[in-house]
């Protein structure tokens, strides 16, 4: 499921994942076997205000539905609220980061990309980050190529104990998503993921 908490309709100015009616929605997802909730928590555009996609409500929902099997994939990792996202995801093992909006910074602002990715890897590790590009209308191959060639600059490594191995990149580019959605990865792809029986 994909949710936009700042969706404006009529007199509404959005909602929070902690709202009582949102719990009814999540209960229904559990009943139906829907396990992955993608929630847009990133940059806003007019007429939304900056806090319309605040990540604070993810904490409440993730805590409440941790044992029920719901995963919350926070699209855009809460940008520009990366610190808040990381603190929430660090304590909630069912919170994942969707890297749309983050990934294009690999080109537009490579050092900023390195800072953000280092924070997320330090707090969440490579197993809870999912590639996405926001480039649905054309091929994101150029971003993938840049990501595969990416290495952390030395000043980032001096501040944070992080690494990004080839295996980590494979996880981020697809294996983590395959695991979440219980998708079998073809052998010809060159790497495998264990799919729950």
- CATH number, domain of 157, equals 3.20.20.140
At residue 68's C-alpha, the angle toward residues 26 and 9, to 5°, is 10
State the average pLDDT for the chain. Answer: 89
Helix axes 56-64 and 20-32, enclosed angle (nearest 10): 50
Give the model's confidence band at 168: pLDDT under 50 very low, under 70 low, under 90 confident, else very high. very high
Range of the domain at 59: 2-189
194 in a structural domain: no
Structure tokens at 156: 């980032």
196 in a structural domain: no
Across 166-194, average pLDDT: 85
SS3 40: strand
Structure tokens at 185: 């990865």
133 in a structural domain: yes
For residue 15, the model assigns a pLDDT of 84
Tens of pLDDT, residue by residue over 32-45, are 999 999 999 987 77
11 in a structural domain: yes
- Please give the residue that has the higher pLDDT: either 42 or 113: 113
Q: How many domains does the chain have?
A: 1
29 in a structural domain: yes
Cβ atoms of residues 90 and 133 within 8 Å: no
Structure tokens at 161: 């104990």
């Amino acid at each position: 499921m994909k949710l936009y908490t700042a969706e404006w309709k009529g007199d509404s100015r959005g909602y929070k994942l902690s709202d009582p009616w949102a719990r009814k929605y999540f209960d229904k997802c559990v009943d139906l076997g829907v396990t992955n909730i993608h929630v847009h928590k990133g940059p806003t555009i007019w007429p939304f205000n900056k806090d319309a996609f605040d990540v604070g409500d993810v904490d409440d929902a993730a805590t409440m539905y941790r044992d029920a099997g719901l995963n919350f994939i926070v699209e855009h990792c809460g940008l520009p609220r990366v610190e808040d996202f990381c603190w929430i995801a660090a304590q909630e093992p069912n919170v994942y980061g969707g890297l749309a909006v983050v990934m294009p910074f690999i080109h537009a602002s490579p050092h900023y990309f390195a800072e953000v990715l280092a924070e997320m890897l330090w707090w969440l590790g490579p197993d809870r980050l999912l590639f996405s590009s926001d480039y649905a209308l054309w091929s994101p191959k150029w971003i993938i190529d840049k990501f595969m060639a990416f290495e952390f600059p030395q000043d980032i490594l001096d501040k944070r104990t992080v690494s990004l191995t080839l295996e980590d990149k494979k996880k981020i580019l697809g294996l983590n998503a395959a695991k979440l959605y219980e998708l079998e990865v073809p052998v010809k792809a060159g790497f495998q993921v264990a799919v729950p029986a």
